[in-house]
Structure 1
Amino acid sequence: MKKKIYLGWFAVAFLITVFSAGNFAYASDYTGKTIIDVKIAGEQTVPANSIMAVVRIKPGNLFDPEKIHQDLQSIYEMGDIYNVTANFTDVPEGVKVTYVVTENPVLKNVVFKGNTKVSMDQLKSVITLSKGRAINTKTWNENARAIEQDYHNKGYILAKVSDLAMDPDGTLTVSINEGTVEGIVIKGNEKTKPYVITREMKLKAGEPFNAGDAKRSLQKIYNLGFFEDVNMKLNPGREPNAVVPEVDVKEQKTGNFLIGGGYSQTDGFGVYYGIGDSNFKGTGNKVNLTFQHGISSEAGTGWDFSYTNPWMDDKQTSFSVDLFNSVNEWNDYGYDGSSTTLRSDYYRRSKGFSLSLGRPQGEYVRYNIKFTNRKDTYQEYISGPVNYLTDTDYSDYLKNNFGIVHSMTLSRVYDTRDNIFDPTEGKRVFLSSEFAGNVFGGQFDYNKYTLQASQYFKVGSKQTLALATTAGYATGNVPDISKFYVGGIDTLRGYKDEEFTGKEMFTATIEYRYPIVKKVEGVLFTDAGNAWEGDYSVGGLKYDIGAGVLVNTPIGPIRLYMAYGDEGIRYQFGFGGQF
């Protein structure tokens, strides 16, 4: 039969022994006599000299019941002793004092039960009890606190040492209750399916509760972009020390319908309309369909359909398909050798598809592979000093920049941002390599490499310092549409959109972000960057400084910037979040 050992029982036994009125009435009979000897009896594994080291009375002292009481307490507080009494022997010379001790059980081994998140070896490394000696309750109390603190440091804040049991063979069994998640409750999701939320959670039913996992779960749920607010509270479970996390979400609109139009002397009337949903039917899938039509332009109609399933299987494999037959206005700069002078403005049609697959590795890394089949054609001259259809000085331009591109892109993303829409801490590093060439059946043979990195720091309680840089390098026969472009709202805000182009590029940005009012954020920034066809040159970098605001609206974030560069002040307006 196992003998249960509870630390409180030791204290009770000691109090009964030390504070017995009968004992002290008996001890008072020797008051004033000389103590001629002090001995320890009953010790087995605890050295007698260790016990004597805490004893205050010495031979030659006068007998004092209060000092006897203090000695009994000091011996017990060593932690090795289960019971201690004082015996007195009257002799002609005075009185002999013998402290009779009963040691705690002798420890031979320590085993743990209930530990699933901390290994047996890790727990044993915390134990400082000496094998072959009586269990020291003082040391054990320190060890128990250290075990619980080790769990708490790892995020298991509910874990505790729940029970001790000593076998007759000297094996101490330590039971640990790690604080189990008994179930998960989702509230507030009128559209979103519950599994779309729970699959993002690191907390799982039947697993120990972890505060770090709870925080990360809330971040991942919010980063879906489906909710205006996400909160969690812990309700008690049915079992001791168990909890039921309750996640309360406040949904926001994820569907969109856009329609617009315009008129220019060159193009005549044009219309644009689109429909989409980033949480299609509450499944977490993303669907978008857009149309554009130039009523008077020869460019004609363009469209784009995209579909993304972010979670195809239990390995979190994502799949995306993009079918497009789009028409875009294209501005070429570089007339007469000036990178800021427009050479030609025209319509370009891109027709084809792309397929993407992705899968995470761990919590913060994701790998993707993308296959693209695209055909680019020259559609219509709009304006500018050069018409590529008629200008003989540019007879090779169409051949070198329009045709079929087949490519494969490999990418890796490392992302620890706390909030992908408005990060305040963490980092994101994106690396991609695109390989296009005859081996894939295309007309253009080139390699293109891109590195993007951003870092975020909290400044005070609500401000953020954001740093970002991008570098790119390409080799081979790269068509214009696949080159690097710098300039505009996402790179150099003090310059025209895609004003600088080349096979090499570099940009860097520093932003200081601060709240103005609810859902409105101010930004102070400086940008640097350029793109080159030849060798990279630090002296060729362009710079700007400026300020702006980010407004969160029901249709998404809106960005407004005013920037000053070499070409003067430029205003930028756009949709979507910042880097």
Structure 2
Amino acid sequence: MKIQKNYKHILLAAIFSISLVFSILAPAYAADPTGKTVTSITVTGNTTVPEATIMGAVKLKPGEALTADKVKQDMQAIYELGTFFDVVSNFNEVPEGVQVVYTVMENPVLQEIIIKGNTKVSSDKLSSMLTVKTGSILNSKALNENVRSIEEYYHDKGYILTKVSDVAMGTGGVLTITINEGMLEGIEVKGNEKTKTHVITREMKLKPNQPFNVKDAKRSMQKVYNLGYFEDVNMKLNPGKEPNAIVLETTVVEQKTGRFSIGGGYSKSDGMIGIIELGDDNFRGTGDKVKLHWEFGGSASNKNYEVSYTRPWLDDKQTSLGFSFYDMTNEYNDYDDDGDKKATYDKRRKGFDITLGRPQGEYVQNYITLKQRKDDYVEWISGEDYTKDPEYLKDNFGTTRSISLMRVYDSRDNVFSPTEGNRVALTAEFAGKALGGDFNYNKYTAETRNYLKVGHAQVVALRGTVGYADGKMPDSGRFAVGGSDTLRGYRDDQFKGNKMLAATAEYRFPIAKKVEGVAFTDVGKAWTGEGYKLNDLEASVGVGIRVSTPIGPIRLDYAQGSQGGRSHFSFGGQF
């Protein structure tokens, strides 16, 4: 639909300019009054605007010599009061000199204001921005300022294409303001050879046939990149078919999302063991995530497996569903608070979990998880033998059935390597015999992550975690602190308990392409019993390297704590 513009205000300006020229030149066709003494200055034609207001804009004074420039300046000043659509000058010669008469034509009285075309800002809001009021003579100067204010307000909200396309004064004093909000005609996606187009467009806040918003475009680009399917995402605005409309062109560069690995090992107790792991974070280009881990051979033949699947969009409300089931027998180490190995044993964990999620607004996600897990003590290897303590086995091995509620606020610009924003997660897990499990406990965790850009590519990353639990909790359910993810410089899961505190500060800086350096400090510990023992916290400082590879991020850290130095090597992204 074409937008018809009303050029009435332009026509009025043209009429005024022509009148101004002819009014000044008119004396040239009669006697030229230029240079004569001005004896008086009067105003005619005004019925609403006080004469004093008009005369306040006049600079020419009686007794001065008349010049064309002074008359022109006065006429312009009167017109710029905003209440007149035309100003004419006339001259009457008298023996003493010349009389100057300014004749004005007033704007109509404003009776009604109609605002059209606005969908993203209410008419009440736009009306509150207007200083021109009904019942008063229309002030075109104030109206022009109001038009600019409306456009600036739209632009500040992200609607950068919005403009007031027409301002028309109709019969009966009706002012109509027409707004063109700048339409997004369509979205074109290029470069997606594997990923389905709808998998990309469903992440976008922008929708076709809606006003274009640059803030939503930026957020959409972040969300598409955060899928993890692309090395790069770019957006470009192309002209649309209609005036003041655009087409958003989105170009993506896909990266590998599938993985396959095979390995093996040998031990005296198990013999030869093979490991196969495969998965895809963008299964068949649908955005679904699938993972299969299988260990075969040895005494645990056909028993060690883990399968997980996540569908991020079940419906148009972005309800997500994920599940995993597993049966794994692995070697575990328990440590005392000094970092000395206390026991080594094989433990079998078997179970499943199902998670449903749904967003609430742009940055909040809610999840509910049903979990069943059974832990069995399989075989003593070295150190303390838990089979000699039946009470310990009863308290720490068995079936856990729980329901967890989780609420996440996430405004990070890049979930893989954030430079700004924050993430806050609150989790509550409720386990009980009423669900058919062997343990009764309530477990609460709160975590916050904050990111501050302090240079061109340098980032300060902060993380804090606090946990509390009560009731009868097995060893596998307790908070664990220590290792590459919580407290570097100490053994993995060295400190366990029903209460925990942990905090990390990192300074991240680029070294080369896809290589990043970090300097960090970690603080934390877990306790069993009453209270948080702040004077008993452990701490460490260290440095590390992050490398982006085709098989995923690699992390290498070295940290020095109270029990000496320790290196940590791991796969996966940083917090």
Which TM-score band applies after superposition, normalised by the shorter structure? over 0.9
Partner residue, 1:17: 19
Instruction: Please report how far the alpha carbon of residue 503 of structure 1 lies from its aligned counterpart in structure 2 after TM superposition.
Output: 0.7
Shift in alpha-carbon separation, 1:469–1:66, aligned structure 2, 3 A: closer
Deviations 1:92-151 (A, max 9, x none): 454332211112232222221111111112111221124333322222221111111101
> Contact 1:182–1:237 (CA<8 Å) still a contact in 2?
yes
Paired residue type of 2:127: K
Q: Taking structure 1 as reference, are residues 33 and 377 closer, same or farther at Cα in structure 2, changes over 3 Å only? A: same
Indicate if the aligned counterparts of 1:46 and 1:133 stay in contact, CA closer than 8 A.
no
Does 1:498 pair with 2:497?
A: no
Deviation at 1:321, TM superposition (A): 1.1
SS in 2 for 1:144: helix
Shift of residue 562, structure 1, vs aligned partner: 1.0
Q: Choose 69-78 or 555-564, whichever is displaced more.
A: 69-78
Determine helix, strand or coil for the equivalent of 2:135.
Answer: coil
Question: CA 1:133 to 1:298, structure 2 compared with 1: closer, same or farther past 3 Å?
Answer: closer
1:45 equivalenced with 2:48 (yes/no): yes
**Which residue is 1:569 aligned to?**
565
Q: Aligned equivalents of 2:300 and 2:455: distance in 1?
A: 55
The answer (yes or no) to whether the contact 1:201–1:217 under 8 Å persists in 2 is yes
Distance 2:304 2:204 in 1: 40
Q: Following the alignment from structure 1 to structure 2, what is the Cα–Cα distance between the partners of residues 443 and 457? A: 45
1:85 paired residue number: 88
1:186-229 CA distance string (max 9 Å, x none): 00000101010000001100111111000000000000011111
Deviations along 1:523-561, whole A, 9 cap, x unmatched?
Answer: 110101111112311111111111111111111111111
- Most deviating of 28-37 and 426-435: 28-37
Letter in 2 for 1:470: T
1:183 partner SS: strand
Q: Which whole-Å deviations, capped at 9, do the CAs of 1:388-416 have from their partners, x for residues lacking one? A: 22x3xx22111111111110000000000
- SS of 1:344's equivalent? strand
Shift of 1:7: 3.6
Match of residue 134 from structure 1:
137
Moved more, 460-469 or 43-52: 43-52
| Structure 1 position 56 matched with structure 2 position 59 | yes
> Does the 8 Å contact 1:113/1:175 carry over to 2?
yes
Correspondence list, 1:296-335, <5 A: 297=299, 301-334=303-336
Task: Provide the C-alpha distance between the structure 2 equivalents of 1:302 and 1:443, rounded to a whole number of angstroms.
Answer: 24
**Residue number in structure 1 paired with 2:341:** 342
Q: What is the deviation of 1:264?
A: 3.7
Q: State the SS of the aligned residue for 1:44.
A: coil
* Contact residue 338 and residue 563 of structure 2 kept, 8 A: no
Matches within 5 A, 1:77-476: 77-265=80-268, 267-293=270-296, 295=298, 297=299, 301-334=303-336, 338-383=337-382, 385-389=383-387, 391=388, 394-476=389-471
Q: For 1:300 and 1:176, how far apart are their aligned partners in 2?
A: 68
- Superposition CA RMSD, Å: 1.9
Shift of 1:8: 2.7
Match of 2:475 in 1: 480
Distance 2:483 2:271 in 1: 26
SS at structure 2 position matched to 1:67: helix
Name the counterpart of 2:554: 558
- Whether the 8 Å contact between 1:299 and 1:379 is mirrored in structure 2 is no
| Aligned mates of 1:423, 1:28 — CA distance in 2 | 79
State the TM-score, normalizing by the size of structure 2.
0.95
AA paired with 1:167?
G
Q: Secondary structure at the match of 1:216?
A: helix
CA distance in 1, matches of 2:30, 2:345: 111
**Is 1:529 paired with 2:524?**
yes
CA distance in 1, matches of 2:300, 2:66: 117
Identity of aligned residues (%): 54
Between the aligned partners of 1:326 and 1:491, the Cα distance in structure 2 is 24
TM-score w.r.t. the length of structure 1 is 0.95
| CA distance in 2: counterparts of 1:110 and 1:449, whole angstroms | 57
Matching residue's letter, 1:380? E
Amino acid in structure 2 at the alignment position of 1:400: D
The offset of 1:348, in angstroms, is 1.2
Is there any run of 5+ residues in structure 1 with no aligned partner, and where? none
Report the count of equivalent residues. Answer: 570
Q: Which amino acid aligns with 2:526?
A: A
Q: Quick one: structure 1 residues 28 and 328, their matched pair in 2 at CA, closer, same or farther if it must change by over 3 Å?
A: farther
